[in-house]
Chain A
């Protein structure tokens, strides 16, 4: 026998025709709570625009090979298509003499291709991050080409058989102390910094959440011992360790990632541990235990989603922290191997070449804008997830 409950006073489950309203949750649609959070995030105009700008810049930088490269995107030659940005072709493929890799910036090769009626599709900027511009009007670091006077340009202009400064290939933000284009280094450097930051954040979050969760849920001796271990580990000066390791290993992207991962995972542990400690006393956890659910399932199914809220608000700040760390290491010279494009290296060159303000200004503004965008996004995320904030 079914008992029919009288309709409750507060909720309306019936529409005008008396049928139950269809459920509010559909597959793959965000829950009403998440929809509200997204609305709150959008309400913060600064954060919202920062997110868009950051995403646009990041996606553009992912295609750096197509924006700034010393190899053309596509060459149509002799009836064939050559994807020169992605595949290395020997000079002989275009009718040259040597079997070396084709240097598309060489006017001789360009003439060879033009003679046979081929077309070259160049990216916007014809320098890559490691292209040394050997025809600099002034000694490196050279100012932006649009700031050069005709007198300075004259020798190069005449050598190349051009008419004025404006016909030269522009270094829009000048070159660094080895004649490499600053804009190209900026784009590639931004990409590497953000990718490094995101990867480091991703892996250190996984480790940090797991460690914090176990400590917080079990408490007692597990928590005590783990905490002491973390304190000891935190006391190790990671910069010195990095120096020593750099002397032994050749630091590449992934070795650097691994070393920094060893030390950066502790940032989330405190937060997640506190969330699990708080959450494990909630009644629905006790209810799940009363049903006989095992500890691991309780941690993943019940506690982790709640802990992720606080973690989400932290993540943009961790990303900006990771980017800062890489920049700082590069500035000191202990980061990525020499020759890699990096913003930190740009800053250290700026320090050594104060007479070249374009280096300093570029480095400063790029780092400042990138970190500001991340911080604005982080603040907007934090406000969006705050359940007590009332928005109009």
Chain B
């Protein structure tokens, strides 16, 4: 095989095992794939499938000695990387192969300026003077699309937005013009519109530099957009690989088929104009004062929610969409009186604005909330049964122990969990199961109104559609009213009867979901839908970078 056709990266029969407390678990089980020059290969799988571990093994960034490679080789330009020493690996990292990570905030050093961090990687691999390094840094920042880079050189990471931080990370990765760029879920932590822009940037750079890209993700939409070939991973093995077109149109393995079919089924609850209004707010304001100076005088306000009016009718689902920072979660918490706000909030005919905490308590039975983070929203020290029964102990203290058990068992059955598991602790369950427990906790009180604050964001695709089905089922059975807050438009499209689009605390557009999706009126909404459904980046102006 001549050198031109030799693949840039050839992973053959690679295994990764982790040893902890005497137990060995195989995270990656004999995988093989290749990346040719200039090609983009996507590694797709759910969390726990081993994709990140595989990518980190290419650069040997795993925690050795707990991690070992029982088998396999990783050949880069014909040279096996696994037996290399640390010093030899350091010459490869950052100059021949670069990597960008998921969370730009934690991947950048918060105490160093941008210039310092980019010049650091330059100085490590190429001897150059400070002024030459500065010039190259400015060149890189322009390449990645940061406007007015001279003014940004002295900024610290916390002074940049999420999208800008990821661009800086990409600049650092490109500094030494690597042959291969490994991108470990680089857009998962970003908003939809920014995600589309970063993907466009990566595609542009690939075309210009002829660089190969190993893209790790769980989002099939992204794979469709930028990858040439795809490897589907499950349980540490590659179950299917091939050209994107071929795999997506004619999947062979049942797991790939399940993954492709995992889009949440659109079957929203129809709008009911005749039903009574369950929750409504008129010109709701949540303003946080900014206090400066010796006397803590109020100099301004952060207007998290700035004059929002909503009305949700019984049996409907109100979808609240917007980017991070738009105020959707604040709106949900304010409506439930978990945050103080300004403006009347009418719940089941009563105005609950202005009531003290103890006075709101009787209403809490009818309004509940399911949080985003399945790991943080369950108390780690209480068994699942206790967690679900906690609400009952507050609102129905006169239930006997047997009756309470019965209600808990019923709630667990309704969400599809085995009631015998109610003595276990939350850490023994998976993310999807924990989210079901959160729903059971909210549902056991038989409320009329549930706020769902991004309940599917932390879940994998397969579980997202199950969650949506479960929520729909519960709503139909019990005539529940939902307020579904999410930035994931596909999930909202599957459930919502009405939609409001928020931006910077204000409502940009609202109306019945069906009409809104078909013909959005404002530019912002159009850009949002384009980015979410088709991963298309908007031209400057409509959205922030």
- Find residues 1-56 in chain A having any chain B CB closer than 8 Å to their own CB: 1-6, 8-11, 13, 20, 22-25, 31-33, 36, 39
Are A390 and B424 in touch, CB under 8 angstroms? no
Chain A positions 283 through 323: 1 when the CB is less than 8 Å from some CB of chain B, otherwise 0: 11011111111100000011001100000000000000000
User: Is A240 located at the chain interface by the 8 A CB criterion?
Assistant: no
| Bound complex: CA A289 to CA B337 (Å) | 10
Tell me which of B361, B369, B383, B417 contacts A25 (CB under 8 A).
B383
Given A20-B421, A23-B421: A291 in contact with B391 (beta carbons within 8 A): yes
Tell me if B432 and A8 are in contact (CB < 8 A): yes
Which residues of B lie under 8 Å from residue A22 when comparing CB positions?
Answer: 420
Which of A2, A25, A306 makes the CB contact (< 8 A) with B424?
A: A25
**Contact partners of A306 in chain B: CB under 8 A:** 380-381
Residue count of chain A within 8 Å CB distance of chain B: 40
- Is there an interface contact between B378 and A284, defined as CB atoms closer than 8 Å? yes
B48 in contact with A9 (CB, 8 Å): yes
Whether A24 and B424, one on each chain, are in contact in the complex, defined by CB atoms closer than 8 angstroms, is yes
Contact of A288 among B22, B390, B428 (CB under 8 A): B390
Judge if A80 is at the interface, Cβ distance under 8 Å. no
Closest CB of chain A to B379's CB: distance in Å? 4
Q: Could you tell me if B377 and A287 are in contact, using CB atoms closer than 8 angstroms?
A: yes
B394 A11 Cβ-Cβ under 8 A: no
B423 in complex: contacting residue of A4, A6, A25, A301, CB < 8 Å: A25
Check B466–A11 contact: CB distance below 8 A. Answer: no
Question: Which residues in B have their C-beta under 8 angstroms from that of A391?
Answer: 21
Q: How far is the CA of A302 from the CA of B423 in the complex (A)?
A: 17
Contacting residues, chain A, for B418 (C-beta < 8 A): 13, 20
Q: Apart from A31-B425, A290-B369, what 19 extra A-B contacts exist at CB < 8 Å?
A: A1-B477, A2-B413, A2-B416, A3-B469, A3-B473, A5-B436, A5-B466, A9-B430, A10-B430, A20-B421, A23-B421, A25-B423, A32-B425, A283-B377, A286-B377, A290-B338, A291-B395, A292-B395, A301-B379
Complex CA distance for A8 and B460, rounded to whole angstroms:
11
Closest to B19 in A: A392
Give complex CA distance A200, B381 in Å. 29
B46-A11 in contact (CB<8A)? no
Query: Quick check: A9 and B416 within 8 Å, CB to CB?
Result: no
**Interfacial chain A residues near B416, Cβ < 8 Å:** 2-5
17 CB-based A-B contacts, threshold 8 Å: A2-B416, A8-B430, A9-B235, A11-B429, A11-B430, A23-B420, A24-B424, A24-B428, A25-B383, A284-B376, A287-B369, A292-B360, A292-B364, A292-B395, A301-B382, A302-B381, A392-B21
B433 within 8 A of A: yes
Chain A residues with CB under 8 Å of B338's CB are: 286, 289-290
- Chain A residues positioned under 8 Å from B436 (CB to CB): 5
Contact of B46 among A9, A39, A288, A294 (CB under 8 A): A9
Contact B425 A25, beta carbon cutoff 8 Å: yes
- A391 to chain B: closest residue by CB: B21
Task: Chain A residues near B473: list those with CB within 8 A.
Answer: 1, 3
Task: Please tell me if the beta carbons of B430 and A283 are within 8 angstroms of each other in the complex.
Answer: no
Enumerate chain A residues within 8 angstroms of B425, measured Cβ to Cβ. Answer: 25, 31-33
Across the interface, do A11 and B433 meet the contact criterion of CB distance under 8 Å? yes
Q: How far is the CA of A171 from the CA of B428 in the complex (A)?
A: 60
Which among B421, B423, B470 is the interface contact of A3 at CB below 8 angstroms? B470
Tell me if A365 counts as interface (CB < 8 A to partner B). Answer: no
Tell me the A257-281 residues at the B interface (CB within 8 Å).
Answer: none
Flag whether B373 is at the interface (Cβ < 8 A). Answer: yes
- Given A3-B473, A8-B430, do A23 and B390 touch, yes or no (CB 8 Å)? no
Q: What A residues does B365 contact at CB under 8 A?
A: 292
Check if A11 sits within 8 Å of B428, measured CB to CB.
yes
B369 to chain A, nearest CB (A): 5
Which of A13, A20, A293 lies in contact with B394, CB distance below 8 A? Answer: A293
Distance (whole angstroms) from the CB of B430 to the closest CB of chain A = 5
Q: Assess whether B194 is interfacial by the CB under 8 Å rule.
A: no
Known interface pairs A11-B428, A13-B421; A284-B466 also in contact (CB < 8 Å): no
* Separation of A149 and B371 alpha carbons in the complex (Å): 83
Interface residues of B in 101-137 (CB under 8 A from A): none
List of A residues within 8 angstroms of B433 by Cβ = 8, 11
A287, B371: Cβ atoms closer than 8 Å: yes
Assuming the A-B contacts A2-B413, A6-B466, A392-B22, are A302 and B428 also in contact, with contact meaning beta carbons closer than 8 angstroms in the complex?
no
B376 touches A283 (CB 8 A): yes
B151 at the interface (CB under 8 A from A): no
Name the CB-closest residue of B to A285. Answer: B379
Taken together as a complex, chains A and B put the C-alpha atoms of A22 and B420 apart, in Å, by 8
